[in-house]
Amino acid sequence: MVGGNSQVLEVRAGRFSRGVFTDHPGGSLIHSRAIDAAIQERIADDQFVRTFRASPSLLGLGFVEAIADQTLINIANLQPLQSGGAIRGQAISVDIVESPGVQRVGRFGWKNQQASLLSFSGDAYVNEMGITTPLFPVENTSNGNSIVAYDPLPIEPDDGDNGDLELFTDFMRATKAPPRDAALAATPDAQAGAVIFNQIGCAICHTPSITTAPAGTVLNGGAFTVSAALGDKIIHPYSDFAMHEVGTGDGIVQGFPSARNKVRTSPLWGLRTRGRFMHDGATLTINEAVLRHGGEASFVTFLYRFLPSHDRGKVLTFLKSL
Ligand code: HEC
């Protein structure tokens, strides 16, 4: 295949009333397709909080899992609170599903709703694909109604021993982070663009370098030991993996009501491979994605907007080299 349109956007919905968000009946994730029309989910008229969500890349996420909590907390704590515009990432703690009672700083998903790749996979398996596992044994409903009568595999959980989950979690842990476009990155424009990116404050949230925890560190409540391949590595994700309010909040709560209108800083590694931007995939050029930032990023966006156009071009060249 040389072309096609395979971008998948999922839909999330719910209600916001008297200061409280409630999920759409059956959960905020809307199953737009189903094996039987009778259980296809549709948004009810009174569910006014709605958004599209793009699927983020999974490449290199083993390195992200191997970042110590304290490293992420320190990055957020160093963000400036000065009058030009306060920037302060919110690090939120979430359950490690495979280690009951243990929490780590969330780093996966648009709302940082997961912190381990096994939990993240189990969550996606049941919610995005409808496959139950011992970690997530309960089938979703259809708009709140039981789907049992339509289930071709009524014996739960579908993946009886987490076997599939563990295999593709290992696969994700073995993927490399997306490499730079070396030729473009070496150009004077891209190099100048990287300097401007730092100077105007993009790098405050889009953290250029993070060091992973040492090999041998035991994480996720004992369920994951950092390997030599993932440990003590300097990675270049261009993200602080924290929640920020940049004026794009979609209003959906996944765990943290206080992060309702926040979105996790998108990692910019591999940006050049994407064609639709921001959490809702609604922005079609990188320049427009940058201009769309408001809220905590307003002052930085203002500086970008008023750069001489050749300097803005250099920032864009740098971004396209990532
Ligand atoms: C206050 C933190 C913050 C600052 C400052 C910031 N960003 Fe972002 N950036 C974010 C967040 C959060 C998102 C995700 C927003 C969304 O999807 O709704 C994002 C998304 C992006 C995206 C879209 C990536 C994708 O794959 O969809 C690009 C490109 C980007 N930022 C570039 C920049 C540039 C360039 C600057 C400086 C002019 C900048 N950002 C400043 C937090 C920030």
Report d(CA 75, CA 85) in Å as an integer.
17
Which sequence spans correspond to the domains of the chain? 9-242+253-320
This model's pTM is above 0.85: yes
Ligand 1 nearest-atom number relative to CA 295: 1
Compute the distance from residue 133 Cα to the ligand 1 centre, in Å: 34
pLDDT band per the 50, 70, 90 thresholds, residue 3: low
Q: What does the mean pLDDT of the chain come to?
A: 93
Pocket of ligand 1 (CB under 6 A): 87, 200-202, 204-206, 244, 246, 248, 263, 265-266, 268, 271, 274, 277-279, 286, 289-290, 293, 296-297, 300-301, 304, 315, 319
Name the residue of 81, 198, 205, 274 to mutate for ligand 1: max ligand atoms within 8 A of Cβ. Answer: 205
pLDDT score recorded for residue 128 = 87
Would you call 24 exposed, middle or buried from its count of C-beta atoms within 10 A (0-12, 13-18, 19+)?
A: buried
How much is the average pLDDT of 216-237? 97
Asked if pLDDT for residue 167 goes beyond 60, the answer is yes
Which tokens sit at 237? 């994700």
CA nearest neighbour of 180 among 199, 194, 195: 194
